Amino acid sequence: MSSSLVEMAILFASLLIMFLSSNAQLSTTFYDSTCSNVSSVVRGVVERAAQNDVRIGAKLIRLHFHDCFVDGCDGSILLDNADGIESEKDAGPNAGSVDGFSVVDEIKTALENVCPGVVSCADILAISSQISVSLAGGRTWQVQLGRRDSRTANRAGVIDALPNALETLQQITQKFNNVGLDSTDLVALSGAHTFGRARCATFSHRLYDFNSSGNPDPSLDTTYLETLRQTCPQGGSNDNTLTNLDRSSPDGFDNDYFTNLQNNQGLLQTDQELFSTSGADTVGIVNRFANSQSDFFDSFGQSMINMGNIRPLTGNNGEIRLDCKRVN
């Protein structure tokens, strides 16, 4: 074989390796040989955190959600401001709203002690989300792993990418479609609101002057309306007061969220619209999940996998951060 053919063969092999490494797939067994006890380490930290903060599970899932919708599941939401980095934490939908960063840091420290430089911050969010659901009474699922961490953040992209509590079902659906998720994913992932809290500022517009009508949201149960008005009086002085997203079982992971929607007792506008939007394909999915908790659990696990597959960095892309708050 001539030297030119040998050189071409070596070049082709190098390009093939680069292609395969940059297009590596996520796997449930990714850490089996490099950090086999990753899940137990994460679980230990989350269990301890839950003893002091009943909301930590909802906070960790929300971090994973807000991370994945902005440029994919790359841990970018965890980065602090630094030279060349404008933190996503300071963007409107996140500022003063997302939390759980200190627990992520505790998990990272614990993992660095046993598996230094191995487990990504992006994967920490995925694993801790699954464990949080399991601890709250939900069903487990096989978490896909192998994500790497970004070296940058995208504060400017947060507002356009993330759903917000004032948007219509059509707008929310479009944002899910933009990242490859469908209506079943939308309804299933909204079911994470079966635990956690929301501030008055995110739903008080429904209580007094909905869509500048001078009246409350007509899709809101009147008895529930009066309860919410007591918690969030008109005028905005209680904007940061917290209310349970699921009034019937606020700290458990179950399908009560969906029966609440059937009873017009969804807290957020974007929750209730899933059921109260006439002709929407989400209505049937809400009914399905309300009728079968098992169906909801199965769909939620699959939708979490689907969300976790949004544009992950794999192979040689990105890095494994040693500190989730800053690039290496």
> From the annotation, which residues make up the binding site for substrate?
163
Q: DSSP secondary structure string, 55-103?
A: THHHHHHHHHHHHHTTTSSSSGGGPPPBTTB--GGGSTTTTTT---HHH
Query: Is 205 part of the annotated catalytic residue set?
Result: no
Reported in sequence order, the residue ranges of the chain that DSSP labels E, i.e. its strands, are 197-199, 242-244
108 contacts: CB under 8 Å, gap ≥ 6: 119, 121, 124, 321, 323, 324
Q: Closest Cα partner for 251 from 42, 47, 50? A: 50
Which amino acid, residue 140?
Answer: T
CA distance 187 to 179: 15
Annotated binding site for heme b: 193
User: Residue 279 burial (CB < 10 Å; 0-12/13-18/19+)?
Assistant: exposed
- Supply 52's token pair: 């002091």
Q: At what angle do helices 282-291 and 183-190 cross, to 10 degrees?
A: 50
> At which residue do the structure tokens 């079943």 appear?
184
227 contacts: CB under 8 Å, gap ≥ 6: none
Identified catalytic residue from 66, 89, 148, 206: 66
Task: Output the CA angle 24-30-36, nearest 5 degrees.
Answer: 165
* DSSP three-state, residue 85: strand
Task: Output the CA angle 238-240-245, nearest 5 degrees.
Answer: 105
Annotated binding site for Ca(2+): 67, 70, 72, 74, 76, 88, 194, 246, 254
Residues designated catalytic: 66
